[in-house]
Structure 1
Amino acid sequence: MVHSVKLMSQKKVSSEAQANEFARVDSEFQTEKTLKMEDAQILESCIQDLEDGLESLSMSLIKYRVSILNILGH
């Protein structure tokens, strides 16, 4: 009887340890997933900033081209 109580106690500890390990791994996965989502949002923001900068540069180049053509045309 003593052996069966010890065995059941060991199984209970083992099950709790597995549950704790599962919870720890799940928590790390969720944290990693959140970090990756934040990284994706930061990357998206950087890409948007680059697009805005390129659009501004393109408009400036068009204005300079027009100015140069106007100067050469007079």
Structure 2
Amino acid sequence: MTSQNKAACEAEANEFTRVDSEFQSEISLKMEDVQILESCIQDLEDGIESLSKSLIKYRRSLLNIL
């Protein structure tokens, strides 16, 4: 293998390593986004459950008044 071919192969390997590294960091960022989204959804579900319980309590109170 000539030195030019060897240099070209090393450059390709370095480029591949760089692209792979960027891809892996993108995947980890996406996973963090998914975890944040899951946390937000859980917070919303908890809020809706609390609201629902409050509405049921208010309805019962209104029916008792009537």
For 2:23, which of 29, 33, 45 is the aligned residue? 29
Gaps of 5+ in 2: none
Give 4+ residue runs of structure 1 displaced > 2 Å after superposition.
none
Q: Deviations over 1:9-38 (max 9, x none)?
A: 111110110000000010011000000100
Q: Which residue of the partner structure matches residue 36 of structure 2? A: 42
How many residues of Structure 1 are paired with residues of Structure 2 in the alignment? 66
Q: Report the identity percentage.
A: 76
Give TM-score scaled by structure 1 length: 0.86
Runs of 5+ in structure 1 lacking a partner? 1-6
RMSD (CA atoms): 1.0
Larger radius of gyration: 1
